[in-house]
Amino acid sequence: MGNNLLEGKRGIIFGALDEKSIAWKVAERCIEEGAKITLTNTPAALRFGQLKELGEKHGAEIIPADATNMEDLENLIDKSMEVLGGKIDFILHSIGMSINVRKGKSYTESNHQWMQKTFDISAISFHKVMQVAYKKDAVSDWGSILGLTYIAAQRTFSFYGEMAESKALLESYARSFGYHFGIKNKVRVNTVSQSPTKTTAGEGIKGFGTFVDFADQTSPLGNADADQCADYCVFMFSDLSKMITMQNLYHDGGYSMMGVNPEALKV
C-alpha cells in the first residue's frame, strides 16, 4: 500500500523491458504512490519485451522512443505532457547496453565503433533526454531526474567492459546538467548507484551470477534488490528529497564503503 508520496505528480519511465527490469518495479511503485506516468522503450523492445502488459495493467500510455534519437525524444516529451495533462515532475533513465560486452569482446580488444554506440545508448541518451526536456521547458519546478548507474564508474570490475566509462559519463552528465537545471527552475538531477541485480541487462554479463553472490556477501546489509531500488527512486522523486542534487547516490547495502568482508572470502 502506498503513502501518496507522488500524489499529483507526472512522470516518464524509460527502460522497463520485462518484470525483472528495475524500471518495471519503479513504474509500479510510482503508480502505487499516486503518480501518473508514461512508459517508453525502443520499438524493438516493445516487440519482444512485456511492456504492453504493464501499460495495460495500469492504464499507462506507452510511447515508443529510441533514446538516442532526438526526434523520438521530442515526440515523447510532447506526447507525455499531452497525455498526462501538464509538465513532467520526474524522469527515470534506466537504459544500458554494451555492444562489446554483448558480443563477447574482451576490454583490451574493444571495437571502438561499438564503444561509441554503447556510449550513445547508455550515457549520451541521458544528456539528450535532459536537453530536450530543458529546451521545451517540460519539467516542473522542483522536478527530479534520475539515472541508474553502477560502481564500475569509480572502481574496476573486469567483466563490465566499456560500461564502466559509460557510467562515468552518465554520472558526470548528472552533475553538469544538474547545475543548469537547478539554476533554471530548481530541477534536481542525480544518479542512483545500484547493487548488481538479476535483470536482462545484468545477466547479459559473463559470470554475473557469481559476482552477485560475492557482492551480497561483501555488503553488510546484503545486495539491494530491484524492489528496494524502486522504493529509493520513489523517495528521490518525492518532495522529501528536494535539496538533493548533482549526487551519485549509492544504494548498495554498504558495498561501496567495504574493504574486505571475511564472509565473502568463504564464497
Ligand X SMILES: NC(=O)c1ccc[n+]([C@@H]2O[C@H](COP(=O)([O-])OP(=O)(O)OC[C@H]3O[C@@H](n4cnc5c(N)ncnc54)[C@H](O)[C@@H]3O)[C@@H](O)[C@H]2O)c1
- Contact residues: ligand X, CB under 6 A: 14-15, 17, 21-23, 41-42, 45, 66-68, 94-97, 121, 148-150, 194, 196-197, 199-202
CB of 183 to ligand X, least distance (A): 26
Burial of residue 155 (CB within 10 Å: 0-12, 13-18, 19+) is exposed
Of 124, 139, 59, 136, residue with least CA distance to 93: 124
Nearer to ligand X, 31 or 129 (CB): 129
- Give the C-alpha separation, 111 to 167, whole Å: 18
Shortest distance in whole angstroms from residue 200 CB to ligand X: 4
Q: How far is the CB of 194 from ligand X (least distance, A)?
A: 4
Burial (0-12, 13-18, 19+ Cβ within 10 Å), 196: buried
Q: Phi first, then psi: what are they for 67, rounded to 5°?
A: -70, -5
What is the residue whose three cell numbers read 510532447?
78
CB of 182 to ligand X, least distance (A): 23
CB closer to ligand X out of 25 and 188: 25
Strand-pair category, 88-93 with 188-194? unpaired
Contact between 188 and 143 (Cβ < 8 Å):
yes
- Helix or strand (DSSP H, E) at 190: strand 188-194
Nearer to ligand X, 63 or 187 (CB): 63
Nearer to ligand X, 23 or 138 (CB): 23
Q: How far is the CB of 20 from ligand X (least distance, A)?
A: 6
Q: How far is the CB of 56 from ligand X (least distance, A)?
A: 17
Nearer to ligand X, 43 or 86 (CB): 43
Give 40 or 238: the residue with its C-beta nearer to ligand X.
40
Can you state the percent helix, strand and coil of the chain, rounding each to 5? 50, 15, 35
